[in-house]
Amino acid sequence: MNATDGTATPLLAIEGVEAAYGDSMALFGLSMEVGVGEVTTLLGRNGMGKTTAVRAIMGLLPVTAGRILFQGRAINGLPPHKIARAGLALVPEGRQVFPNLTVRENLIATLRPPSEPREPWTLARVLRLFPALAERQTTMGGALSGGEQQMLAIGRALMTNPRLVILDEATEGLAPLVRREIWRCLEGLKASGQSILIIDKNVESLIRLADRHHVIERGRVVWSGDSAALRRGEDVRRRYLGV
């Protein structure tokens, strides 16, 4: 179900997903949704399965039970490149920009036209979103600061013209000024109608930004609700998030 009208097919639906690293189970019947145009979070303490869930969504970790549906079609079992072509883009933890390519080359390398009529993400549009990158177009990715690399990683994901952007640890390790710039960017993406699934530890910023939240504990969702409910839920934040 879509949180907006209660009937529409969600953009992403995770239904009872299980996954493991070898003999070690990591996801235990994980279920959650991201609606079209929504900003949705996946919250939880370290080691509770957030990055594992992202890996399962993107086809980087096999799903042993359950289904992952994107626009109503099952994508679990597909190789990562086909999942990306379906319209999902990952901004991974640790950024993982191409260190030996320039900023411009990093961005152009992932360019793909949109699959539906809408304003496309182009090099010029990404550079307008991140003016700091416009000034560093000829700089190698490995020579950028951590904040610039995160901007580049987000820009690289947008250049695929995705239906859904997934950000794993969106502002981890960044200076306060850079974090504010990343949140500003994400607010702009939300205003444009971009669907986003985001993992981050800054709960207050996520409450201001996101429409819905899912809290994960030991590989399963233990609480879901909107920002107003999460703000009221001091017990939820204290028990599961440590804040």
Q: Which residues pair with 34 in a beta bridge?
A: 12
pLDDT above 90 as % of the chain:
88
| Helix (H/G/I), strand (E/B), else coil: 81 | helix
- pLDDT tens digits for range 167-220: 999 999 899 999 999 999 999 999 999 999 999 999 999 999 999 999 999 999
- pLDDT tens digits for range 3-47: 444 458 899 999 999 999 999 999 999 999 999 999 999 999 999
List % helix, strand, coil for the chain (3-state, nearest 5): 35, 25, 40
Q: Are 101 and 39 in contact (CB under 8 A)?
A: no
Is the whole model's pTM more than 0.85, yes or no?
yes
- pLDDT tens digits for range 182-195: 999 999 999 999 99
Containing 203, the helix (H) or strand (E) segment is: helix 203-209
Mean pLDDT, rounded, of the chain: 93
pLDDT average, residue stretch 75-98: 93
Q: CA gyration radius for the chain? A: 17
| Helix (H/G/I), strand (E/B), else coil: 114 | coil
**pLDDT-based confidence at 113, cuts 50/70/90?**
confident
Tell me if the domain spanning 37-50+78-241 has CATH number 3.40.50.300.
Answer: yes
